[in-house]
């Protein structure tokens, strides 16, 4: 008998769909064979960013070839609202007023996709333009916020700023980011009897989709089933923004009695769906001559777009991470979620957290330049303490701090100090090219700050032949959630993983699930699946014990079998016998994260169950004539606790880093003065490609750091935190630019650090250094 | 409507298509070969790469009628007798995928590269892949997989000599 199961926890397993991915057999929503009589749906969009809708004449659309139905707000049987946060500000189809260019006005269903698109173009829409609000200052001045101001404070920041030996202030902007999941938004709705509808949808949140579709159709949730086997990438973009297309497909299915598919093409996807929030941050810092921060005050204003969506919690998470790894003796933070006439900004890997961390690192850089210190020394001087100086701006004490040892290890293994000296010397001899180096840390809080979301369910069936079917509320978007949760079940029942079949996430199997988001997928669903497996295991143990007239303690679970009173019984046989003894072989499991609570009104609580840590050291070369840069080397050390699957986790770290690098250095969203997004295809919006990845890329998971909290096998969440490791690239570019003025002046490089921005910073430093105006 | 016939994955296929029908539409909608994905609709992301007469082509940038009479290979036709192509096997073993959406195009591009450059350098692999976008992996394991496949294939070639 084997002494170890195949596919248990902590094993580096390939992705459960890997074989299907490499053979083209993996089925995405658009690959599902279309049922007979399926109609294709196209959504007619607003051409204006802000206007009254004077007239919408759709007669020509209705008469166009192939058109089966045209639906507007008047055709919605239930409620014309998709706000996931009950802000009631997100109509499916616009009524009276349009709030952004690309807003849905109507839907056309036709026999073919091309017919639907062509028909939609025949709509006659008359607008009375209103001035679009496109910046945070205007929105703040008008008091037009999508969510109330959020505040966190500890100590007395204004007083401490006033008495600090040194004091600095500034403003920075941080760009947004398009998700650019390779699979665009898609939903296929199939009508059933009694008004039922089954919606196959590429979504991170099937339960929310179900709830909102039901609301739009005016039916109870039990009439709507949402299913998602896998997504071709999501990154937060399919948390709430998949709902519109699912709801429209369901509406068309209901109205026509025919299956309806809505698949967006890339340009429509980029125009109609939300992005990472961009921010403008006003900061002030007080510090002493050694670089210790005494007080920080920061105002975060973001362009949230036309509706609330998730902007409240996104802005809050920016504040939650405005400390990064640093203790602020006195702190006052505020966020202003501004309404702008743009597509609604939404969740994106990190959910506001990365913007908070970028701001924290800017403050560190300011202090370092003001004092002529190495930024890494300023960072280390301000790290949270282990037992003291460990209170966050939201009054949660940090109990699991490992940033000191993590950064020390990376500083050593990346050879930071020696390379820094070498680079400084090299720069003195280089006329046009400059190199830069930076080592930045990350601390990221794990849990949904909306406490209720921290729950999960699972459903486990063991069949008479010993095969196992597993379902849970988490969705698979490539992150390897399914394989990790299967590993948990394999471990619990001591069976090889091949015995376990994962089934598509489906609201009729596990109800009331949370979004697969906030990096929480395996933490929550792993625990829920483990609970279900334990229930089965306990029943089987009790059965085997009773039959052998033994105690439960005498039943020992071994790989593929149990042993009781010296007799070994194979799992198959045990299950077979248990069935005939009428033992229930199906179980649900449930998990709710303990310890957490949060009051937004008081700005106080323990929103996070634990923290994940990491650090990266990046080296770049900047061409000072063009502003272009190249990333030469990156060293990463990241904390995932005891990894459930190191291969999957390393992939998350590598991919997150490159995605973060794209955000901070090359991806630039551009809206024109009329509020139209002009970067809506890969031709104008550049994400990293294979040649952008650094030639030297050393990525390691930190060893010997089990999660202090009893998470699933002491692992830690890994989805979002690595994105912020890329802040080291931004600061390495900044370091290279700073060499222009001999590291005496801060480059204040606002991301994305595009060649234009880098060149502007170089010119500014050159002018200042030669005595010109700063 | 014009009728078109070609050889796809070794099988003679044909049908009536509109003259504007793209090769990718013909493969996906008429032949049900959905392993070839549509990512950007505009010939930039590379999710739809297939081989036409042995060379990689973005199937959303070619009309079905242009492929008439050609030999077309899609991701579904790469494995032989149930045996994965070495590049497929390497992508699976070296975790050169996450969501899997870019994977078929990525593999078809890589196979073409190795057909005319059996031992590429890492830099050559990276440059070759510039027309294939991946948003999940950061390309790290994709490049690793292709290097491993190249080593594996040239090893086999040497062993056969």
Residues A432 and A460 grouped into a single domain: no
Nearest Cα residue to A90 out of A12, A146, A34 = A146
Note which residues in 124-143 of chain B have CB less than 8 A from chain A.
125-130, 132-143
Asked, for residue A139, whether it belongs to a domain, the answer is no
Domain CATH number, residue B46: 3.10.20.30
Output the 3-class SS for A16-30: CCHHHHHHCCCCCHH
Could you tell me if A681 lies within 8 Å of chain B, comparing CB atoms?
A: yes
Strands across the sheet containing A150-154: A150-154, A330-338, A293-303, A279-287, A166-174
CB atoms within 10 A of CB A397: 12
Q: Which residue, A72, A82, A80, A172, is CA-closest to A734?
A: A172
Average pLDDT of B139-152? 97
User: Closest Cα to residue A248, out of A107, A387, A385?
Assistant: A107
Looking at the domain assignment, is residue B26 inside a domain? yes
In this model, does residue A770 exceed pLDDT 90? Answer: no
Is B95 in the same domain as B71?
Answer: no
Domain that holds residue A529: 18-23+455-513+521-592
The answer to whether residue B24 sits within a structural domain is yes
Residues A203 and A294 in one domain: no
Contact A70, A106 (CB under 8 A): yes
In the stretch 5-44 of chain B, residues with CB closer than 8 A to chain A read: 28, 32-42, 44
Kindly state whether residue A1 falls inside one of the protein's structural domains: no
Same domain, B91 and B51: no
| Rounded mean pLDDT, B49-73 | 97
Best of A24, A233, A631 to substitute, by most chain B Cβ atoms within 10 angstroms, is A24
Angle in degrees, CA A581, A584, A586, rounded to 5: 145
Domain final residue, candidates A272, A303, A318: A272
Cross-chain Cβ contact A181/B99 below 8 Å: yes
Q: Are residues B19 and B70 in the same domain?
A: yes
Size of interface A-B (CB pairs under 8 A): 185
Identify the CA nearest to A167 among candidates A284, A283, A281, A333: A284
* Reported confidence tier of residue A774, pLDDT bands at 50, 70, 90: very low
- The verdict on a CB contact (< 8 Å) between B100 and A232 is yes
Same domain? A210 vs A292: no
Q: Among A454, A477, A236, which residue's Cα sits nearest to residue A349?
A: A236
Residue from A538, A720, A756, A763 carrying the catalytic annotation: A720
Whole-number Å distance between alpha carbons of A385 and A398? 9
- Indicate yes or no: CB of A33 within 8 angstroms of CB of B33: no
Cβ neighbours of residue A507 closer than 8 Å, sequence gap 6 or more: A206, A207, A210, A221, A224, A225, A226, A227, A513
Contacts of A234 in chain B (CB under 8 A): 99
**Digit-coded pLDDT (tens) for A211-237:** 999 999 999 999 999 999 999 999 999
CATH number at residue B114: 1.10.150.120
Count the Cβ atoms, other than its own, within 10 Å of residue A599: 12
Residue indicated by tokens 């031992």: B119
Which residues of A fall within a CB distance of 8 Å from B129?
689-691
For residue B38, the chain A residues in CB contact (below 8 A) are 30
A476 given a catalytic annotation: no
Alpha-carbon gap, residue B63 to A6, rounded angstroms: 47
Domain boundary among B75, B101, B123: B75
pLDDT classification of A133: cutoffs 50, 70, 90: very high
Clarify whether residues A610 and A632 are in a common domain.
yes
Closest of A335, A329, A367 to residue A353, by C-alpha: A335
Q: Do B65 and B7 fall within a single domain?
A: yes
For chain B, give the number of residues: 161
| Mean pLDDT, residues A579-605 taken together | 97
pLDDT in tens, A623-670: 999 999 999 999 999 999 999 999 999 999 999 999 999 999 999 999
Spell out which residues of chain A touch residue B148, defining contact as CB-CB under 8 Å: none
Task: Residue A690: list chain B partners with CB under 8 A.
Answer: 125-130, 132, 134, 139, 142-143
Same domain, A61 and A186: yes
**Res. A773: pLDDT tops 50:** no
Cβ of residue A26 closer than 8 Å to a chain B Cβ: yes
Interface contact A18-B127, CB threshold 8 A: no
Per-residue b or e along B19-31, where b marks 16 or more CB atoms closer than 10 Å to that residue's CB: eebbbbbbbbebb
Average pLDDT over residues A425-441: 97
Q: In angstroms, rounded to a whole number, what is the distance separating the alpha carbons of residues B40 and B60?
A: 9
What's the rounded mean pLDDT across residues A29-47?
98
H/E run at residue A286:
strand A279-287
Retrieve residue A293's tokens. Answer: 């921060």
Residue A266 is nearest to which of B41, B125, B126, comparing CB atoms?
Answer: B41
Are B88 and A24 inside 8 Å of each other by CB?
A: no
Q: From A468, A140, A500, select the one nearest A335 (Cα to Cα).
A: A140
Query: How many whole angstroms separate alpha carbon A767 and alpha carbon A757?
Result: 15
In this prediction, what percent of chain A has a pLDDT beyond 90?
98
Q: Compare all CA atoms of chain A with the CA of B140 and give the residue at the minimum distance.
A: A654
Total structural domains within chain A: 3
**Interfacial A residues in 179-198 facing B (CB < 8 Å):** 179-184
Q: Structural domain of residue B108, as residue ranges?
A: 86-154
Nearest to A14 among B28, B92, B102 (CB): B92
Q: How far is A679 from chain B (nearest CA, A)?
A: 14
Same domain (yes/no): B98, B133: yes
Tell me which residue of A626, A608, A623, A635 sits closest to A707, measured CA to CA: A608
* Whether residues A204 and A98 fall in one domain: yes
pLDDT per position as a tens digit, A447-489: 999 999 999 999 999 999 999 999 999 999 999 999 999 999 9
Same domain, B64 and B40: yes
Residue A772 has pLDDT above 60, yes or no: no
Q: Which residues of A touch B95 (CB under 8 A)?
A: 14-15, 18, 647-648, 650-651
| Alpha helix (H) residue ranges in A501-585 | 521-547, 571-580
Q: Is residue A152 part of a domain?
A: no
Distance CA A239, CA A228 (A): 13
Query: Considering the domain boundaries, does residue B160 fall inside one?
Result: no
Number of domains in chain B: 2
Partner B, chain A 499-558, Cβ-Cβ below 8 Å: none
A307: pLDDT confidence band, cut at 50, 70 and 90?
very high
Q: B95 and A651 in contact by Cβ < 8 A?
A: yes
Question: Are B31 and B71 found together in one domain?
Answer: yes
CATH, residue A80: 3.30.365.10
Q: Cβ separation of B143 and A24 shorter than 8 Å? A: no
Question: Do A613 and A667 share a domain, yes or no?
Answer: yes
Name residues whose C-beta falls within 8 Å of residue A382's C-beta, 6 or more positions apart in sequence.
A291, A292, A293, A325, A326, A327, A364
| Cβ contacts of A267 on chain B, cutoff 8 Å | 41-42
**Are A654 and B40 within 8 A, CB to CB?**
no
Q: Mean pLDDT score of chain A, rounded to an integer?
A: 97
User: Is the residue at B161 inside a domain?
Assistant: no
Residues 76-135 of A with CB under 8 A from B: none
Q: Is residue B35 domain-resident?
A: yes
B104 touches chain A (CB under 8 A): yes
Please state whether A357 falls in left (phi above 0), alpha (psi between -120 and 50) or beta: alpha
A350 contacts chain B (CB < 8 A): no
Q: Is A636 left (phi over 0), alpha (psi -120 to 50) or beta?
A: beta
Helix, coil or strand: residue A485: helix
User: Is residue B140 domain-resident?
Assistant: yes
Rounded Cα gap, residues A752 and A741, in angstroms: 22
A567-570 sheet: strands from edge to edge: A555-558, A561-564, A567-570
Same domain, B42 and B101: no
Is A171 domain-assigned? Answer: no
Regarding whether B140 and B102 lie in a shared domain, the answer is yes
| 0.80 exceeded by pTM | yes
**Average pLDDT, rounded, for chain B:** 95
Q: Say whether both B65 and B112 belong to one domain.
A: no
Strand residue runs (E) in A155-205: 166-174, 186-191, 197-201
Q: Check CB contact under 8 Å for B99 and A232.
A: yes
Helix (H, G, I), strand (E, B) or coil at B156: helix
CA-nearest residue to B132 within chain A is A689
Exposed, middle or buried: residue A696 (CB in 10 Å: 0-12, 13-18, 19+)? exposed
Say what angle helices A646-665 and B140-160 make with each other, to 10 degrees.
120
pLDDT tens digits along A256-284: 999 999 999 999 999 999 999 999 999 99
Nearest in space to B39 (alpha carbons), one of A179, A549, A371, A563: A179
For A283, the enclosing helix (H) or strand (E) is strand A279-287
Among B20, B55, B75, which residue terminates a domain?
B75
What is the distance in angstroms between the Cα of A345 and the nearest Cα belonging to chain B? 19
Q: Are A316 and A325 in contact (CB under 8 A)?
A: no
> Considering CB atoms only, which of B42, B89, B93 is closest to A683?
B42
- Whether the CB-CB separation of A646 and A12 falls below 8 Å is answered with yes
What are the chain B neighbours of A688 within 8 Å (beta carbons)? 138-139
pLDDT one-digit tens code per residue, A309-366? 999 999 999 999 999 999 999 999 999 999 999 999 999 999 999 999 999 999 999 9
Q: Which of A272, A305, A330 is the last residue of a domain?
A: A272
A478 contacts on B by Cβ (under 8 Å):
97-101, 136
Question: Residue A578's pLDDT is what?
Answer: 98
* DSSP secondary structure code for residue B29 in this structure: I
Q: Give a yes or no: residue A144 inside a domain.
A: no
What is the predicted pLDDT for the residue at A769? 73
A231 and A331 assigned to the same domain: no
Q: So what's the ipTM on this one?
A: 0.97
Beta pairing, strands A561-564 & A567-570: antiparallel
pLDDT digits (tens, 9 = 90+) for A94-120: 999 999 999 999 999 999 999 999 999
Do B9 and B71 have their domain in common? yes
Q: Which of A205, A237, A272 is the last residue of a domain?
A: A272
Shared domain for A554 and A640, answered yes or no, is no
Chain A residue numbers with beta carbons less than 8 Å from the beta carbon of B125 are 690
- How close does chain A come to B140, measured CA to CA in Å? 7
DSSP secondary structure string for all residues of A199-227: EEE--S-HHHHHHHHHHHHTS-GGGEEEE
Q: Which of A468, A508, A465 is nearest to A488 (CA)?
A: A468
Give the whole-angstrom CA distance, residue A45 versus residue A102.
5
Q: Is residue A174 a part of any domain in this protein?
A: no
CB A233 within 8 A of CB B101: yes
- Assigned token pair, A173: 């902007």
Residues B47 and B95 in one domain: no
Q: Which chain B residues touch A20 with a CB distance below 8 Å?
A: 100
Question: Does B138 sit within 8 Å of A266, measured CB to CB?
Answer: no
Give A249→chain B minimum CA distance, Å: 20
Largest Cα–Cα distance in chain B? 51
Are the beta carbons of A681 and B92 separated by less than 8 Å?
no
H/E element holding A564? strand A561-564
**Looking at the domain assignment, is residue A168 inside a domain?**
no
Structure tokens at A209: 């989709």
Out of B75, B108, B136, pick the residue that ends a domain.
B75
pLDDT band with cut points at 50, 70 and 90 for residue A285: very high
Alpha-helix runs per DSSP H in chain B: 23-25, 86-93, 103-116, 122-128, 140-160
Q: Does B147 touch chain A (CB under 8 A)?
A: no
For the packed helices A353-371 and A727-738, what is the interaxial angle rounded to 10 degrees?
Answer: 30
* Structure confidence by residue, pLDDT tens digits, A142-193: 999 999 999 999 999 999 999 999 999 999 999 999 999 999 999 999 999 9
Q: Cα–Cα distance between A232 and A454 in angstroms, integer?
A: 25
Is B139's CB within 8 Å of A690's CB? yes
Q: What is the dihedral of CA A638, A644, A650, A652, to 10 degrees?
A: -90
Q: Are A107 and A247 in contact (CB under 8 A)?
A: no
Same domain for A749 and A605: yes
Pair of tokens at residue A489: 């079940």
Q: Is residue B81 in a domain? A: no
Q: Can you tell me whether residue A389 is helix, strand or coil?
A: coil
Model confidence pLDDT, tens digit, residues A370-412: 999 999 999 999 999 999 999 999 999 999 999 999 999 999 9
| Residue A111 shares a structural domain with residue A212 | yes
Q: A405-443 as b/e, with b when 16 or more CB fall inside 10 Å?
A: ebbebbbeebebeebbeebeeebeeeeeebbbbbbbbbb
Task: Please check whether residue A153 lies inside any domain of the structure.
Answer: no
B156, pLDDT greater than 80: no
Same domain flag for A305 and A239: no
| DSSP single-letter state for residue A300 | E
φ, ψ of residue A610 to 5 degrees: the values are -160, 180
Q: Tell me whether residue B159 is in a domain.
A: no
Closest CA to B65 of B14, B30, B112, B105: B14
């Amino acid at each position: 008998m084997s002494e170890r199961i195949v596919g248990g926890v902590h094993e580096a397993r390939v992705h459960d769909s890997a074989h299907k991915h490499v053979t083209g057999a993996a089925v995405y929503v658009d690959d599902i064979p279309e049922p007979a009589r399926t109609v294709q749906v196209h959504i007619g969009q607003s051409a204006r960013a802000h206007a009254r809708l004077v007239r919408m004449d759709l007669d020509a659309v209705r008469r166009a070839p192939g058109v089966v139905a045209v639906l507007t707000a008047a055709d919605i049987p239930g409620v014309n609202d998709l706000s996931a946060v009950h802000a009631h500000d997100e109509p499916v189809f616009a009524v009276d007023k349009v709030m952004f260019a690309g807003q849905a006005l109507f839907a056309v269903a036709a026999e073919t996709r091309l017919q639907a698109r062509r028909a939609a173009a025949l709509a006659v829409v008359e607008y009375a333009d209103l001035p679009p609000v496109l910046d945070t200052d205007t929105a703040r001045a008008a008091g037009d916020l999508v969510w109330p101001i959020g505040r966190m404070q500890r100590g007395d920041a204004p007083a401490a700023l006033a008495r600090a030996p040194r004091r600095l202030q500034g403003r920075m902007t941080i760009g947004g980011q398009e998700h650019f999941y390779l699979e665009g938004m898609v939903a296929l709705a199939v009508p059933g009897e009694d008004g039922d509808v089954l919606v196959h949808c590429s979504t991170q949140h099937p339960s929310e989709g179900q709830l909102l579709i039901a609301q739009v159709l005016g039916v109870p949730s039990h009439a709507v089933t949402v299913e998602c086997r896998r997504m071709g990438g999501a990154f937060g973009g399919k948390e709430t923004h998949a709902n519109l297309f699912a709801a429209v497909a369901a509406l068309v299915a209901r109205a026509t009695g025919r299956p309806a598919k809505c698949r967006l093409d890339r340009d429509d996807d980029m125009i109609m769906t939300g992005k990472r929030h961009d921010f403008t941050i006003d900061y002030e810092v007080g510090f002493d001559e050694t670089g210790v921060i005494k007080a920080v005050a920061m105002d975060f204003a973001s362009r949230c777009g036309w509706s609330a969506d998730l902007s409240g919690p996104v802005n809050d998470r920016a504040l939650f991470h405005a400390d990064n790894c640093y203790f602020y003796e006195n702190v006052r933070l505020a966020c202003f979620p501004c309404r702008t006439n743009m597509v609604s900004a939404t969740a994106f890997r990190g959910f506001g957290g990365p913007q908070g961390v970028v701001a924290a690192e800017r403050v560190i850089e300011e202090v370092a330049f003001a004092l002529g210190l190495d930024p890494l020394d300023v960072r280390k001087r301000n790290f949270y303490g282990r037992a003291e100086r460990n209170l966050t701006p939201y009054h949660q004490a940090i109990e699991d701090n490992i940033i000191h040892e993590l950064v020390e290890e990376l500083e050593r293994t990346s050879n930071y100090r020696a390379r820094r000296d070498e680079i400084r010397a090299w720069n003195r001899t280089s006329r046009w090219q400059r190199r830069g180096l930076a080592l930045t840390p990350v601390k990221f809080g794990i849990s949904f700050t909306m406490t209720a979301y921290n729950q999960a369910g699972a459903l486990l069936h063991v069949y008479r032949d010993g095969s196992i079917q597993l379902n849970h509320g988490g969705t698979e978007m490539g992150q390897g959630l399914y394989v990790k949760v299967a590993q948990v079940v394999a471990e619990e029942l001591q069976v090889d993983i091949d015995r376990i079949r994962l089934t598509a996430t489906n609201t009729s199997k596990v109800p009331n699930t949370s979004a697969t988001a906030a990096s929480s997928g395996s933490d929550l669903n792993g625990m829920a699946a483990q609970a279900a497996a334990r229930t089965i295991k306990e029943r089987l143990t009790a059965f085997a014990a009773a039959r052998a007239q033994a105690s439960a303690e005498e039943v020992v679970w071994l790989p593929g079998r149990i042993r009781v009173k010296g007799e070994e019984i194979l799992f198959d046989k045990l299950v077979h016998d248990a069935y005939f003894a009428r033992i229930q072989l199906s179980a649900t499991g449930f998990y709710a994260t303990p310890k957490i609570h949060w009051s937004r009104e008081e700005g106080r609580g323990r929103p996070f169950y634990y923290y994940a840590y990491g650090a990266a050291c990046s080296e770049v070369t900047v061409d000072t004539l063009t502003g272009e840069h190249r990333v030469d080397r990156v060293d990463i050390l990241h904390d995932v606790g005891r990894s459930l699957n190191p291969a999957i986790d390393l992939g998350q770290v590598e991919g997150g880093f490159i995605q973060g690098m794209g955000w901070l250095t090359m991806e630039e969203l551009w809206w024109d003065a009329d509020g139209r997004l002009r970067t809506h295809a890969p031709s104008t919006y550049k994400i990293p490609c294979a040649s952008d990845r650094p030639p030297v890329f050393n990525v390691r998971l930190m060893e010997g750091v089990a999660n202090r909290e009893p998470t699933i096998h002491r692992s830690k969440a890994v989805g979002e935190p690595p994105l912020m490791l890329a802040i080291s690239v931004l600061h390495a570019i900044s370091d290279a630019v700073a060499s222009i003025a001999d590291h005496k002046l801060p480059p204040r490089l606002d991301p994305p650090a595009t060649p234009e921005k880098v060149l502007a910073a170089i010119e500014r430093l050159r002018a200042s250094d030669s005595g010109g105006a700063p | 409507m014009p009728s078109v016939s070609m050889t796809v994955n070794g099988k003679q296929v044909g049908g009536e298509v509109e003259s504007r029908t793209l090769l990718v539409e013909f493969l996906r909608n008429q032949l049900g070969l959905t392993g070839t994905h549509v990512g950007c609709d505009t010939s930039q992301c590379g999710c739809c790469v297939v081989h036409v007469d042995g060379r990689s082509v973005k199937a959303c940038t070619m009309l079905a009628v242009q492929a008439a009479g050609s030999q077309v290979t899609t991701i579904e036709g790469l494995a032989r007798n149930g045996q994965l192509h070495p590049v497929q096997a390497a992508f699976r073993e070296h975790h050169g995928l996450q969501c899997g959406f870019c994977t078929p195009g990525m593999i078809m591009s890589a196979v073409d590269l190795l057909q005319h450059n059996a031992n590429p350098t890492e830099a050559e692999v990276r440059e070759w892949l510039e027309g294939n976008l991946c948003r999940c992996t950061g390309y790290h394991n994709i490049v690793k997989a292709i290097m491993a496949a190249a080593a594996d294939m040239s090893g086999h070639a040497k062993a056969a000599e």
